[in-house]
Amino acid sequence: MQVLAGPGGPVQWGKPLRHFAPDKNERCLEIPLALLAVYRSPLILDGGCALNMKDAHDFLPSKIVHVNISGETAYQHPRRQYVSGDLRALPFGDKSFPAVTCLSTLEHIGCDNRHYKGDLETDPASRWQAVEELRRVASDVVVFSMPYGLSEMHPSGRWHPFGMEDLSRMLTLLQPATTTVAYYLREPSGWRTAGPIIGQQRAWRDQKMVTGLAVVMARVGP
């Protein structure tokens, strides 16, 4: 698989990551890994708009369709399209995107999204509709990332991390795709690769800092 240069140097799926500053959030992991998985795809659906940033636009030669509830348009680009929509009911046909990404977004579904110009909701279980929809519209690969730890609502009410049972349910919904999971733990010295055992501890520190992350790559095509 192609190796890309991330903010801490070369990025390889599931390999130890070095020199990632501890004051950086999980974006420093999930974005390079997503780019690694979708770089050769001519068309990408970005569920949640995590790739809506100039560096990603300049790096990727493909067309990207960004979708979220606020219709984000912060970085206009000739090969980019912005759609305001709910990931639980995507307005696209089956297998219409070779590659789909959804980074640090699923944990917000069914929660208090007024901060993101959405609604106040109290049913995080509706995230499974989004997983099924994102799987439905992908013809080759889907990349998900989410805070990973104890399955409990964050005190802000804005997000609900994935627990071990949640991740297991996601992998079941993605079948018969071939799935790979990488786990990361944030320590005072920075991020490091970890194992599923981090699902037994809280996914945040000081109510703000995400400390556990799971990244799932599913090959849904032949």
User: Can you read off the two tokens belonging to residue 109?
Assistant: 């579904």
pTM of the model: 0.90
Q: Which residues contact 214 (CB under 8 A, 6 or more apart)?
A: 145, 146, 148, 162, 167, 181, 182, 183, 184, 199
- Total number of domains constituting the chain: 1
- 103: containing domain: 4-219
CB contact at 8 A, 185 and 205: no
Question: DSSP strand E in 71-206: where?
Answer: 80-84, 97-103, 138-147, 178-187, 190-194, 204-205
Average pLDDT per block of 10 residues along the chain, 222 residues long: 54 58 72 86 95 81 90 76 93 97 95 80 90 97 97 92 96 94 86 91 88 94 73
Give me the pLDDT at residue 193, please. 85
CB contact at 8 A, 145 and 103: yes
CATH of the domain at 18: 3.40.50.150
Give me the pLDDT at residue 23, please. 53
Distance separating alpha carbons of residues 217 and 13, to the nearest angstrom: 9
- Assign 73 to helix, strand or coil: coil
Distance separating alpha carbons of residues 201 and 40, to the nearest angstrom: 36
CB contact at 8 A, 147 and 213: yes
Any idea which residue has 């995590």 for tokens? 50
User: Can you read off the two tokens belonging to residue 213?
Assistant: 């992350």
